[in-house]
Amino acid sequence: MTQYIVRRIFLAIPVIFGILVVTFSLSRMIPGGPCRAILGEKATQAVCDRFIHEFGFDRPIYVQFGSYMVDVLKGNFGESIRYSRPVALILIERLPMTIELGTLATILATLIGIPAGIISAIRRNSAVDVITMVLANMGVSMPVFWLGLMLAYIFALLLKGTPLWLPPSGRLSAGMSLTPFYEAYGWGVEPESIKFYVLEFIANHYVLNSLLTANWVVLKDTLTHLILPTMALSTIPMAVIARMTRSSMLEVLGQDYIRTARAKGLRERLVILKHALRNALLPVVTIIGIELGVIFSGAVLTETIFGLAGVGRMLYEAITARDYPIVQAFTVVIAAGYVIMNLLVDITYGFIDPRIKLE
Amino acid sequence: MTNTLDHKPEIIKTSSSKSLMDYRANSLWRLTLRRILKQKSALIGMTLLGLLVLVAIFAPVIAPYDPIQVLIGTEKIKQREKPCIHLLGCPQDKPQHILGVDGNVRDEFSRVIFGSRVSLFIGFSTIGFAIIVGTLFGSISGYAGGLTDNIMMRFMDVLMAFPSLLLAITIVSFLGPGLQNALFAIAIINIPIYARVVRASVLSVKECDYVAASRALGASPIHILIQRILPNSLPPLIVRGSLGIAESIISAAALSFLGLGAQPPTPEWGSMLGSERNQVFTAPHLVFFPGIAIMITVLGFNLLGDGLRDAIDPRLAQRGAE
C-alpha cells in the first residue's frame, strides 16, 4: 500500500510543475505587459522602465521562472494590488469558506446520489427509476448559476415568513460574530507568525470554529446560510453520481457472482450492499474525483450569486479588477488542490479494490 | 390453443421476411442508425435539437421584435415589465410581450429566440475546433509513440488538472473579455478530451493487420492515418462531441454570466441572465426564461449523446473483445 501511495505522489509532481509553468506563462502573456496591467494604461515609459527593473521583469525568463518557483514554494505570493496586503493572508481568509462549501456539497451529492442510483438500479424501469433518471437528466443540464438564483427566489422571497425561509446571501446574519477558537482558549499567539497563520486558517472555517468554541447559535446561523449555496452547488454532481451509480450497479447485478450469492440464499440486502455495491463503487469514486473539478468551477458562480467571500468570488473580483498577483496565486492553489484531491481519490481506489495496488 | 395455431404461419412469415431485409441492410452505418433510432433518449434529444435548429433558422420569422431594439418611444411600456399575453387575459390595449420586457426595454421573447443562434454557434464552433486540434494532437501522439507521446500527454494532463471553468476564466482574463476570447478559451480546455479519445483508438488500431497491409503496400503514414486509422475513432468522437457541446454551451453561458463572454447587446442567454441577476426578486421572469432555454438546449445534446453512446457501445465492446 505504501509503495502504491508513494508512486501516486510522484506521478502528481510533474503535473504540479506543469501547473506552475502554465500560470507563469499566462501571467507573462498579459496584453501590454505586466507594467501597464498593474500600474494602469496611463503609466509612462519611464515609470514602466523603473517598475520592470524593480520587479525583475528584465531578467532572463528562466531566472524569472526560478525565482517564481522559489516564491511559490515558500508561500510568498506577493502583494495584492487592490488591497495592498499579502496574497497569502487573503488566501487564509477566503479559502476556508470555499472548503466548507465544497465539502458540504460533495457530502450531500454523495449521500443522495449513491442511494438514488442504487434504488434506481434495483427497481429498474419502475416509476421510481424513471422519475429519478428524469430528474438526474435535468440536473446535469442545469446551469448552476440559474439554479442558485431560482433557489434564492423560492426560499428567500416566496417562502418569506414561513419556517422554510432561508437567507439568500452572506455567511452570518448581521450582528453575529465569532471569536476565533484560539482566542477563546486563551492561547497567546504572536501575529504574523506561522502559528498565527495556521490557527487563523483553521478558525476561518466557521462551522469548525463554532464547534470548537461550542457556540451553537453561530453554528446554526452559519449552517442556515450554507444550505442554499450547498443545494445549488451539489445538484449537478449529485445527478452525475446517481447516473453513474445506476449504470455501474446494473452492470454488476448481471454478473455471475451475484447470481451465486443469491443462489446460496444470502439475504438480498447483503447481496446488494456487500457483493454488488463494493464492486460497483470504483467508477463512482472516479466520477466523484472528476466532479470535484465541477464543484470548484461551480464555487466561483455559487459564491458570486450568494455573496459569499470565498476563493471563487475573490478570484472573479480579482480578474475584473486585473489584480494579477491574486489571480496567479489563487489559480495555483485551486489547481494544486484539485490535483491533491484526485490523488486522494486514487489512493481510495487502493482501499476499495485491492487488485489495483498490484498494477 | 386454436389461437396459437392460427398465428403460427404468420409469425414465421414475418420473421423470415425481416431477416432477409436485415441481410440486405447489413452495412455498419445502417445498423448503427437503426440502433440509434431504437434509443428513446436519442430520439427525444434529436427532437429537441431539431426544434431548436428550426427556431434558430426561423428566428426572424418567430420573433415579434428585433432582439436588440430598445422599445422606449415606440411603445408605452416600462422597464422590466411582466409578461403580457393577450390570450391569457392581458388587456388588448397593452402591447403583447410573451416573456416580458428586459432592463433595457427590449422584448425578452425575441431575445430568447435569437439566443438559440448564439448558443448553437458556440457549441458547434468550440467543439469543432477542439475536435480538429484534439484529433491532430491525439493522432500524432498515438502514432508516433515514445517520447513525443509522453510529452504531449503530460501536457494534456496539466491542462486537465485545472477545473475547466476556472481555466477558461483565467485564459479570458488574460486575453480580455469578449465572446471570441471566451470561445477560444472553451475550445482550448476541451482539446485534451478529444486528444485522449483519438489517441486511445489510434493505439488500439495501429497494430491491426489491415494497417500493416497498408504499410506493406507502401502507403504513406498520412494516408494510413487518414484512411485506415482515423475512421475508427469517429464513433467515440461523435458521442463525446455531443456531450461536449452540452458542456461547452453551459461554460460559455457561465462566462457570459460573469461578464467575461458575450457582451451586450448580444442576445446570449448567459449574459441575459447575468445582467438581470440582481433583479431576481423583482423581475424573476428575466432570470427564469433564459435559464430554461439553456437547460432545454443542454438537455437535448446530453440526451442525444447518451443515446448515441448506448447505441454505439455494443460495437465498441465487441471490438475490445477481439
User: Do A96 and A337 form a contact (C-beta atoms < 8 A)?
Assistant: no
Chain A 65-124, residues with CB within 8 Å of chain B CB atoms: none
Shortest CA distance from A138: residue in chain B: B299
| SS3 label, residue A154 | helix
Please tell me which residue of chain B has the smallest CA distance to A305. Answer: B277
- Rounded Cα gap, residues A329 and A337, in angstroms: 12
Question: ipTM value of the model?
Answer: 0.83
Task: Please state the rounded mean pLDDT for residues A189-206.
Answer: 85
Model pLDDT, residue A200: 87
> Nearest Cα to B300, choosing from B38, B41, B49?
B49
Amino acid at A333: V
Q: What is the mean pLDDT of residues A214-219?
A: 89
pLDDT at residue A358 greater than cutoff 90: no
Cell of A349: 481506489
Q: Which of residues 279-338 of A touch B (CB under 8 A)?
A: 293-294, 296-298, 300-301, 304-305, 315-316, 319-320, 322, 327, 331, 334-335, 338
User: How would residue A356 be classed by pLDDT, with cut points 50, 70 and 90?
Assistant: low
Comparing A7-16, B184-193, B194-203, B260-269, the range with the smallest average pLDDT is: A7-16
Under the banding of pLDDT at 50, 70 and 90, the label for residue B117 is very high
DSSP B69: -
Q: Do B170 and A331 touch (CB under 8 A)?
A: yes
Chain B CB within 8 Å of residue A125 CB: no
Confidence (pTM): 0.84
- Between B55 and A358, where is the model more confident? B55
Does residue A112 surpass a pLDDT of 80?
A: yes
CA angle A138, A139, A140 (to 5 degrees): 95
Residue B298 has pLDDT above 90, yes or no: yes
Residues of B in contact with A29 (CB under 8 A): 174
Q: What per-residue confidence (pLDDT) applies to B21? A: 52
Q: State yes or no: pLDDT of A176 exceeds 70.
A: yes
Distances (CA, A) of B34 to A264, B25, B27, B243: 41, 10, 11, 21
Whole-angstrom distance, CA of residue B303 vs CA of residue A152: 28
* Overall average pLDDT of the B74-101 stretch: 83
Nearest to A319 among B173, B280, B295 (CB): B173
pLDDT at B292: 95
Higher-confidence residue: A342 or B191? B191
Binding-face residues of A in 142-171 toward B, CB within 8 A? 142-147, 149-150, 152-153, 156-157
* Interface probe with A: pick from B164, B174, B247, B303, most Cβ of A within 10 Å: B174
Is the predicted pLDDT of residue A325 greater than 60, yes or no?
A: yes
Q: Chain-wide mean pLDDT for chain A?
A: 85
For the segment B202-232, what is each residue's pLDDT rounded down to a tens digit? 888 888 888 889 889 988 888 888 888 888 8
Selected residue with higher pLDDT from A145 and A332: A145
Residues A146, B287: C-beta atoms closer than 8 Å: yes
Task: Return the C-alpha cell found at A300.
Answer: 466561483
Q: What are the helix and strand counts (H, E) for chain A?
A: 16, 0
Q: What are the cell numbers at A25?
A: 506563462
pLDDT-derived band at B26, boundaries 50, 70, 90: low
